[in-house]
Amino acid sequence: MNAPQTVALHRPAAAITERPDATWPLADVLALFELPFNELMFRAQQAHRTHFPDGDVELATLLSIKTGGCEEDCGYCPQAARYDTGVEAKKILDIDTVLDAARQAKANGATRFCMGAAWRSPKERDMEKVEQMVREVKALGMETCATLGMLEEGQAEQLKNAGLDFYNHNIDTAPDFYNNVISTREYQDRLDTLGRVRNAGLKVCCGGIVGMGETREQRAGLIAQLANLNPYPESVPVNHLVQVEGTPLHGLDPLDPLEFVRTIAVARITMPKARVRLSAGRRQLGEAVQAMCFMAGANSIFYGDKLLTTGNPEAEDDRALLAKLGLKTRSATLESAPKEACGC
């Protein structure tokens, strides 16, 4: 096996300290991780049933509207221009292609449509195109989400005015592990973008990636950071690292699957009202581990054949698994927006 690699460090560790008034001190989050497995699952299931008595699973679809060529150096990402991963840089998709994908996602049962772009941050010409996509996807009666990198002042308001419901911006990992993975943007940059999103009145989708070589305490640090955001995110995607050849994190020892389940359970206990989403890496987990994740409180999945540039269980397989487990999906609750919303 290749020796684990990390991104070269260009600055000291992130200077983020725990707030003295933290709702979930790191020690308390770590104590949850260290509970006997059955006790942890029991507590997670209690929290889940209290706040989601219907037990439904939200289906979300993610489309890469602009793939590859990113100037960042995130060690897990095949879209970084500096890594030789076979991902080619492409121009932003046209509106008709995006709408066709959104209609297909809705027909397959998805209620939220997320548009992702491989940018450090969007330029104004990009914003105009994304705003049109948001307006027209919203007009289909779907919840809208975008993940476009860091946002400058005023950009979150632009997206809000276009009808965006959620903005995704992950913090990725614990502050003290962050510089082992990324050097081209700071931890505080991510928090600043999240602040702009909240101030604009958008809902927050924010999570991280596990299995990047971090310790259990650092996984607890990730969850503590999320749970202590005020308020904590409405949507929490938990990604299992998909190792892509050519990226610095390729060749790591894989994370124990039960440790991933523990992470889901702790996220549910500490953020009881959030939609905790199984995101990248579900294909590697298999049905049994996914079933345990649902028991631990996961109640949202990315649904379809691809997550940006990595594989994802196909829609038919997902429906079959949910049927085996007797899980129902969240019904669409949004009414179609009036035609004026999409400029028709």
Residues annotated as catalytic (active site), given as ranges: 70, 74, 77, 114, 145, 205, 277
Task: Tell whether omega for the bond before 231 is within 30 degrees of 0, i.e. cis.
Answer: yes
Q: Residue 218 contacts by C-beta under 8 Å, 6 or more apart in sequence? A: 173, 174, 176, 177
Give the number of other Cβ atoms within 10 Å of residue 234's Cβ. 16
Return d(Cα 48, Cα 60) in angstroms, integer.
19
Q: Would you list the DSSP string of 68-134?
A: S-B----TT-TTBTTS-SSPPP-PPPPHHHHHHHHHHHHHTT--EEEEEE--SS--HHHHHHHHHHH
Picking from 96, 79, 97, the residue whose alpha carbon sits closest to that of residue 88 is 79
Return the bridge partners of 332, or none.
none
